[in-house]
A and B are shown apart, each in its own frame.
Chain A
Amino acid sequence: MKKLFKSEASLNFASSVTAIIAGLIIGLIVIIIANPSNALNGFLTLIQGGFSNGTRGIGQVLNNATPIILTGLSVGFAFKTGLFNIGTPGQFVVGAFVAIYIGVEWTFLPGAIHWLVAIIFAALAGALWGCVPGIMKAYLNVNEVIASIIMNYIGMYTVNYIVPLTVFNINKNETLPVASSAVIPQFGIEHLIPNVNGGIVIAIILVIVIHIILNKSVLGYELKACGFNRDASKYAGINAKQKIVCSMMIAGALAGIGGALVYLGGTGKCLAVVDTLAPEGFNGIAVALLGLSSPFGILAAGLFIAHLTIGGSLMQIYGFIPQIVDIIIAIIIYFSAFALMVKGILANGFHFKKKPKVKEGQ
């Protein structure tokens, strides 16, 4: 058993898979309780997820995965540097708005770069939203979780306030659709999977970029050092305050790009004016947990959760109401939080030894 989990990577993989299996088993129990007669069919549909619909399903999985991979990367990146970025919903929504605004209004830009400019500005907006809690943490010692939560609401309400004043479609209570030149190109993958958005390509590129930053760059060395031991980083001459701000800005930019990729995806989806925090933001936390904060782990976790979500929505044909589907996904996500704990158990190996004979007589 121990030999099997020798390397760190395989250990990580094994623990995530264990968490998923445990989640699925409990999910199955919930399904059986909710609707025993259709339990098996429902469960199979869930597991089949995006694969039940040919390339269309796969395209859907990729499209749904794109934003949560980005928000997952955002949470995971901050986490590697010792920060808990719970501000992804806010960063996501301001990114989305800025992208849409540019996508609708800046049609003077040449088509080849219109979408790219929109993404870059979305990243900047997200970075701005991330940098506020970063500055408060670094210089005022305000807990980043609290500051991020506040920024979530400020972000959401600001966007809800500005949208009706700018790029508003009053009939649908949502933003206007972006110009076709602002839609991200499909980079040729449409020949394989016709309904796919180009956003997944950008997501994968960013996964690789973040992997490189974290593991190969000087910046990554400094950021992780701060995350592991702030005192020792200070001793080493690393400007820990600056690094905290930097890390939160990068995290914010990733979540902001996540927002851009959804609404520049060419699916015709528009940002609705609603008083709820973007679920893609919070899902990022689950994705990061399940992926153990490693970029490639997050990529896999994002795809997996998107896959289940599709499966879940298909379960409705067997009479499962969407809430049940949400519960099951929540259970799996919940178990994913235990992935780290499972990792500890696997690493230490199992002790199936007999109990000690304690306190023998003197």
Chain B
Amino acid sequence: MENVIEMRHITKVFPGIIANDDVTIELRKGEIHALLGENGAGKSTLMSVLFGLYQPEKGEILKNGHVVQINNPNDANNLGIGMVHQHFKLVHNFTVLENIVLGAEDTKHGFLYMKNARKKVEEISQRYNLKVDCDALISDITVGMQQRVEIIKMLYRDNEVLIFDEPTAVLTPQEIEELMQIMRDLAKEGKSILFITHKLNEIKEVADRCTVLRKGKYIGTIDVATTTKEEMSEMMVGRKINLTTEKTESHPTDDILVVKNLSVSKKGHKNPVNNISFSVRKGEIVCIAGIDGNGQTELVQAITGLMPILNGTILLNGKDITHASIRQRNVSGISHIPEDRHKHGLILDYPLSYNLVLQRYFEPQFSQHGFLKFEEIEKYSEKLIEQYDIRSGQGSKTIARSMSGGNQQKAIIAREIDKNPDCLIAVQPTRGLDVGAIEYIHKQIIRERDEGKAVLLVSLELDEVMNLSDRILVIYEGEIVGEFNPKEITVQELGLYMAGSKRGDTNEKAV
């Protein structure tokens, strides 16, 4: 079969790290080619090279057998190469349509002429079943919708080589299903797709072949149909991975976090959190399961103090923290792994070490008489980097922005767990992590539980919910509609509650 794209012997060096070391990859016409590798293995970098964002130190790129030079994304675009980035690049106060045509606008007498554009977008959206509202503002639509905008953007430019960098990390299971179907349709049409993901199930489901990278090096390309998930993960990490988590029975004791009749209001909408009550006890992992957008974000932000509440009470260790400041909540024992790592979790322009003490810089360990103790901060940061295997070019000094997505996430988790909280609130903690890292983080969360911490987990991934939790609360339209023991419920049944088609009566008894 003919190769649309060949990247030969690509080497890309960043300060302190060889992100791609002599990597060769071939993309056939009409195939879905997965790219697999640990966090920081160099997947995004390799794709950025293809998209013209980085210039490789060595190597060449061939399009349809001819050597091409790709100096910037415009060149890539002219060659029919499009990319959906790991962290989307949309203009938030522009409409969907404006974002799609941005940089490829039609003009008439020097004015924007949107009529043709709108028609074309509608055509694309029909043909591939990519439903979007052309006139909605990006800031008002869900992440899944934003991603559709990114995909339409590529198709609008008639790209035939489509790069998806971890598209499923931010999607709900339903949206992932839809995306898989869209990708299959696109491939059937003759488009060629490069697909980065950490989820082996997804690779099994849609990909034809899979190339594995490890620490910047090319490990091999395999045929997906004839390779098992275990083999793939072993290729990627270099050791055997236990894909299911083992844990013992939980023995919860006293209440740590108690939420009573909590409501959060939102202008012009019904309350995103409506009269929710529950508690998390010492030594248990309670999971809030639900479809994205049913009030999980608001619930967590209300508990952590990022969002004002309408009414209700929040108790931590028996102490009323309903009106406590964020700082007070942080120091009295709440840790929070936030949903949006770039918005809340990190100061991207600060070095890694500064980010690792983000809620602790003022403690006597890290500062004295109003001055930072740089050596202590550095020492502490080295410890966490080592312990949690946070990979980056320049260790403590690396600017967080230049770290790979998964390693940014690992840094946040390390910081929050190492704070030694009484109550750990983790929202999608393993989003964007490789299987090895997920295994490690899950172990850590269970260890926290066993050490007597209360863990509140919010996850969209049912596998994670079933594997980790001791108790499941299902949230639907801002209310808890059921409480379950994971051993006594099937994924299917859980799904029904999450979709709102079934309602339990157990929620009354909570607290």
Contact = CB atoms under 8 A, between A and B. Distances in A.
Contacts of A358: 68, 75, 78-79
Interface stretch (A55-63, A85-93, A224-232): A224-232
A269 interface: no
A26 interface: no
B344 interface: yes
Contact of B71 (A218, A236, A238, A351): A351
A359 interface: yes
B69 A355 contact: yes
B141 interface: no
Given A232-B343, A235-B345, A362-B64, A218 B362 contact: yes
Contacts of B78: 356, 358-359
Given A237-B330, A362-B64, A221 B354 contact: yes
Interface stretch (B181-189, B364-372, B462-470, B488-496): B364-372
Given A228-B348, A237-B359, A221 B68 contact: no
Interface string B69-88: 11100010011100000000
Nearest to B63: A360
A61 B327 CA distance: 48
A181 B79 CA distance: 75
B347 A216 contact: no
Interface residues of A, number: 28
B346 interface: yes
Contact of A239 (B55, B79, B304, B327): B327
Interface string A233-256: 111111100000000000000000
Contacts of A219: 370
A150 B463 CA distance: 58
Contacts of B344: 231-232, 234-235
A304 B64 CA distance: 55
Given A229-B347, A358-B78, A235 B306 contact: yes
A237 B325 CA distance: 7
Nearest to B80: A359
Contacts of B237: none
B69 A356 contact: yes
B484 interface: no
A224 B348 CA distance: 12
Given A228-B350, A232-B343, A218 B69 contact: no
Nearest to B367: A218
A187 B324 CA distance: 51
Nearest to B368: A218
Contacts of A239: 325, 327
Contact of B69 (A221, A235, A353): A353
Interface in A339-358: 351, 353-358
B358 interface: yes
Contacts of A158: none
Contacts of A232: 343-347, 358
A107 interface: no
B269 interface: no
A143 B193 CA distance: 46
A41 interface: no
A221 B353 CA distance: 12
A234 B306 contact: yes
B68 A356 contact: yes
29 contacts: A218-B361, A218-B362, A218-B372, A228-B350, A229-B343, A229-B348, A231-B343, A231-B344, A232-B343, A232-B344, A232-B358, A234-B306, A234-B344, A235-B304, A235-B326, A235-B338, A235-B358, A236-B330, A237-B326, A237-B328, A237-B329, A237-B331, A351-B71, A356-B68, A356-B75, A356-B78, A357-B66, A358-B75, A359-B80
Interface of A: 216-219, 221, 224-225, 228-229, 231-239, 351, 353-360, 362
